[in-house]
Amino acid sequence: MKKVSYYIAICICVAALAGCASAQRGAMSRAHSGIEKGEYEFALKRLSEAEKYVDPTPDLKAEIVYLRATCYEGLERYSEAIGALKYLIDKFPDTSYAYQAKEKLRKLEKRN
């Protein structure tokens, strides 16, 4: 009986994690959509949701930080955008988002 309960508990955990990963992908999709529409506050909320479901992989975390910086830029919160980009470059230097962040950072620093 204990083995059956143990296996049921494992199945429930696996199903819950799969559901969280699916919810995380949905939040990211809604964030991308919000950014495309210029709805930056909406997108920031979706990015925060995506971080809370399950721990993001390093690549996903880099994407979240990059998109957050994009939102800050769209909201004309340039110092926050610059801070996010510097964080991204420092913490995730080998990602494609770090390379994009370097270019965006150059443009934003010229602006300030």
- Over residues 102-112, the pLDDT tens digits come to 999 999 988 76
d(CA 102, CA 74): 17
Average of per-residue pLDDT values in the chain: 86
Q: How confident is the model at residue 20 (pLDDT cuts 50, 70, 90)?
A: low
In the chain, where are the structural domains located? Answer: 2-111
More confident residue, 19 or 39: 39
More confident residue, 8 or 108: 108
Higher pLDDT, 55 or 27: 27
Say if residues 81 and 107 touch (Cβ distance below 8 Å): no
Of 55, 45, 108, the C-alpha closest to 82 is 108
Q: What is the pLDDT of residue 60?
A: 94
- A 10 A CB-CB count for 85 gives 28
The predicted model scores a pTM of 0.79
In tens, the pLDDT along 38-69 reads 999 999 999 999 998 778 899 999 999 999 99
Superfamily of chain region 2-111? Tetratricopeptide repeat domain (1.25.40.10)
The position carrying tokens 């990602």 is: 95
DSSP state of 74: H
